[in-house]
Amino acid sequence: MIPDPDSFEIAQERQKMKPCYSCGKPMRTIKDQPYHYIESGLPVVLHGITQYQCTECGEMFAALPNVKKLHRAIGNDICRQKKSLLVAEEIKFLRKELRLKAKELAGILGVTDSTVSRWENGKKQIGEGQDRLLRSIYLSCMADSCHPDQTCSGHLNVFRNLPAKRKPLQESQEIELNPQDWILSQVV
Ligand SMILES: [Zn+2]
């Protein structure tokens, strides 16, 4: 019996397909279609990404190369390119990339916990100073050669160690230094 060339081709095509992660049915490959990276919580559109769609349940999957660097590129774009004040999703994204809890970010920026949650649910606009400080912290932490899986402690600790609700002193405090403090210092 001569095999039906059509069914043979279909069977071959099926073999190349990956199984769906949800239902196990074969998935078809989609190329050259923009991918809306909604998992980032931001309106990010990625191009040149291979996507897979389940032929049964319709579930979509994407093969994203180097997600860590992708997130750095998104954060960098937010901090450097965005001219208007940061919006809720951007603040949340930067905070998560810095691996900070809302409470920790509040302490670093010198605001209350509820202020951060109101920024992040869009009920309050971030202030000019905090917007600039958050961008600055993000960019300097990412520029630091700190381990990518850890929160950069250097810059953040400067702000963490400041007490809340400070008051100015009447007289300025003296700064005392010996030569070894600046000659041998690792701080630049
Ligand atoms: Zn499926």
All residues with CB under 5 Å from ion ligand 1: 20, 22-23, 25, 54, 56-57, 59
Distances (CA, A) of 107 to 72, 115, 123, 144, 185: 24, 11, 20, 21, 28
> 55 CA distance to ligand 1 centroid (A)?
7
Q: Which CATH number fits domain 67-160: 1.10.3100.10, 3.40.50.880, 3.40.50.2300, 3.20.20.70?
A: 1.10.3100.10
pLDDT digits 0-9 by tens, 117-146: 999 999 999 999 999 999 999 998 888 655
Start-end ranges of CATH 1.10.3100.10 in the chain? 67-160
pLDDT digits 0-9 by tens, 154-188: 778 888 888 888 888 888 889 999 999 889 877 65
* Locus of tokens 């002193």: 169
